[in-house]
Amino acid sequence: MPILLSFIQSERISELSKVQQLTGAIGAEVTGVNLRELDNEKISDLWDIFLRFQAIFFRDQYLSPKELLHLANSFGTVLQPHAGLTNLTTTPEIMLAETRDGEGFGKYNTRWHSDVSFDQKPPSASIIQAVKVPPQGGDTLFASMYAAYDSLSEPLKEMIDKLQALHEGAPAFSWALLDPANIDGAERLEKMNQESPGAVHPVVRIHPETNRKAIYINRSFTTRILGLSEVESRNLIDLLCEHCEQVAFQMRWKWAEGDIGIWDNRCAMHCAVMDYGKAHRVMHRITLQGDRPY
């Protein structure tokens, strides 16, 4: 049954439409919306839905790169992709995530992560459009870090509430950038190291808009929990990541061309599923400026 906007702290039932919750933990599909035609009231409504469900999706939008950028600017300040990523020449604010013949972005993007968590101020949200999808496969998984935190035992919550973790991008991106196929990969990796040498964030962050607690570590970028021995750190990261990646906290989105997805990096992780062989997959992604985690 569709969930009315009044359920998610809207004082009125919007013209927006129907909001279909996708799983018990995370995700909603919003229908009846043309993302080219959003006034301030509709933008506010959509942000309420986004905060409630952590990841929201729209079918059949087919935005041009300029329209996608305009949509992103409606929700916040757009960030430039970091040096480890490829952007569109005509619209450099948009990251190009392309995989063809089993090579490219998707090959290296299959581990759970929150986008660019190694920045001092990681992105608040990511906005992505499916431009070309494979005939089978190519889905994306999302997981709620609210639900992951809430389900922990109280003693474990008390322990990790006090901990800080180091996030680094270079160890993860070096696999892709140092691939012989990337002619300028070494140069880009060096630039990435200079621009984003890493950041220390709380293991449990408080969402600045909802005030809820969420686990904030991931397999891709979290390299060390401070104050612990190397063995303790690795074991705790593994324990928490295994916990966070449970199916009970997840949803799965099957992309169709023209789909738009928006997710909250402050309380959700995601990973791509590389199960489409040598088929061609193209996604356009924009990230929005966030705050320093606390």
DSSP per-residue codes, 170-205: HHHHHHHHTSTT-TTHHHHHHHHHHH---EEEESEE
Taking each helix axis from N to C end, the angle separating 40-53 and 65-75, rounded to the nearest 10 degrees, works out to 80
Higher pLDDT, 289 or 180: 289
- How much is the average pLDDT of 169-178? 66
Domains, the chain, with CATH or none: 5-288 (3.60.130.10)
Token pair recorded at residue 143: 């997981």
Catalytic-residue membership of 285: yes
Question: 115, 119, 259, 264: which is the annotated catalytic residue?
Answer: 115
Question: 207, 219, 284, 285: which is the annotated catalytic residue?
Answer: 285
Catalytic-residue membership of 270: yes
Q: Cα–Cα distance between 16 and 34 in angstroms, integer?
A: 9
CA angle 286, 177, 239 (to 5 degrees): 75
Question: 188, 270, 281, 284: which is the annotated catalytic residue?
Answer: 270
- How much is the average pLDDT of 157-168? 98
The pLDDT value recorded for residue 190 is 72
The pLDDT value recorded for residue 47 is 98
Which residues, other chains included, contact 292 with Cβ-Cβ below 8 Å and sequence gap of 6+? Answer: 120, 121
Token pair recorded at residue 220: 């891709």
Ranges of beta strands (E only) in 81-156 are 95-100, 103-104, 125-132, 140-144
Catalytic-residue membership of 275: no
The pLDDT value recorded for residue 8 is 47
Q: 3-state DSSP call for residue 127?
A: strand
The pLDDT value recorded for residue 174 is 63
The pLDDT value recorded for residue 236 is 99
Catalytic-residue membership of 70: no
Q: Cα–Cα distance between 226 and 161 in angstroms, integer?
A: 13
Q: For residue 283, list its beta bridge partners.
A: 97, 130
**Ranges 17-21, 45-49, 151-155, 272-276: which has the least confidence:** 17-21
- Mean pLDDT, the chain, rounded, equals 90
Burial 219-252 (b: 16+ CB within 10 A, else e): bbbbbbbeeeeeeebeebbeebbeebbeeebbbe
Question: 113, 201, 207, 281: which is the annotated catalytic residue?
Answer: 113
Q: What are phi and psi of 232, to 5 degrees?
A: -60, -45
What percent of the chain stands above pLDDT 70? 86
Residues 11-67: pLDDT tens digits? 443 455 699 999 999 999 999 999 999 999 999 999 999 999 999 999 999 999 999
Position 107 confidence tier, pLDDT thresholds 50, 70, 90:
low
Tokens 């990841």 sit on residue = 55
Give pTM, 2 decimals. 0.90
Q: For residue 293, list its beta bridge partners.
A: none
Kindly state the greatest CA–CA separation across the chain.
56
Ranges of beta strands (E only) in 32-73 are 55-58
| C-alpha to C-alpha distances, 122 to 40, 116, 163, 293, nearest whole angstrom | 25, 6, 18, 8
- How much is the average pLDDT of 228-235? 98
